[in-house]
Copies of this chain bind each other. A is one copy, B any other.
Amino acid sequence: MSHFTDRLIAAIRRCRNPVLVGLDPRADSLPLGLRCAPTDDGLEVAEAYRRFCCAVIDVVAPLVPIVKPQAAFFEELGPQGMLALAEVIGYARDQGLLVLLDGKRNDIGSTATAYAQGYLGKPPAGSWGADALTVSPYLGDDSLEPFVQVATQRGGGVFVLVKTSNPGGKLFQDLVADGRPLYQHVGALVESLATQTLGEGGYGAVGAVTGATYPQQLAELRSLMPHSWFLVPGYGAQGGTARDVAGAFDAHGLGAIVNSSRAIIFAHSRKEYRDRYGDARWQEAVEAATRDMIAQLASETPAGQLD
């Protein structure tokens, strides 16, 4: 399996955009035709999530390079949700999409290895079959090493939380130690791991999660971390704009994938699309919202250079 970022770059160039569609199913937000009465074993809702996510994938697979299922919403349903998650990951891969699982996992030593081996890589190597996984850094460098090792073996990617998009992220991430904020300390480790795991395109197998809601820090981190691919959350529903994420890219329009979840998959609930498509034509709303986001990034960020 070739290097994760080389596969990512090829997919981005083919699609001519860096959009990462987040698959965050929520029972109360599903189109009416997919809603169901919850059962104690989670089976009905899990089946609705599976059908919904696969229908979203049908729409976005020809348009974008990569999708990001959010593990939490599947885990919330218990084991039935996890069966649905595995099916959604498999279906996305079968449709030619790269899959980044948002699990924010981590642990120490052989426990971290278990997470990495379970999640990264096409089955049967990885049980879940994700191409990449989000990881939390609090446990330190030795907790990241097993992820880096498995990612290297299997052509997988690891995205470490560096500067997150939520308001409370700054409580610890912005604490200043030795003259720089914690998120820069974490960023320096990520960049070091990226430099050790470079693909042919100049980016490492280890990247960073850096929120769209802090555009200044995003640009600052881009220059501090030239070999680290950025996963940029916070676009759209959380308030980040195309202009806010511009600093995350390199001059070729590479180096970042920009996530939007609710604003795309639940576009049928947004006024601008609801009036045009209504609930019944929700997949057309997903397509329109995806195309609109692609256009916005192309016109206001270096991602326009991909054309």
Contact = CB atoms under 8 A, between A and B. Distances in A.
A191 interface: no
Contact of A139 (B40, B123, B139, B169): B169
A173 interface: yes
A140 B115 contact: no
Contact of A127 (B78, B112, B115): B78
B72 A172 contact: no
A137 interface: yes
B138 A107 contact: no
A110 B182 contact: no
A40 B90 CA distance: 14
Interface in A138-192: 138-143, 161, 164-173, 175-178, 182, 185-186, 189
Interface of A: 24, 26, 40, 42, 70, 72-73, 75-79, 81-83, 85-86, 102, 104-112, 114-115, 117-119, 123-124, 127-128, 136-143, 161, 164-173, 175-178, 182, 185-186, 189
Contacts of A78: 86, 118, 123, 127-128
A172 B142 contact: no
Contacts of A26: 110
Contact of A82 (B82, B170, B189): B82
Given A79-B86, A139-B166, A140-B169, 6 more contacts: A42-B127, A78-B118, A79-B82, A108-B166, A140-B166, A176-B178
A47 B273 CA distance: 48
B104 A107 contact: yes
B185 A175 contact: yes
Contacts of A76: 114-115, 117-118, 127
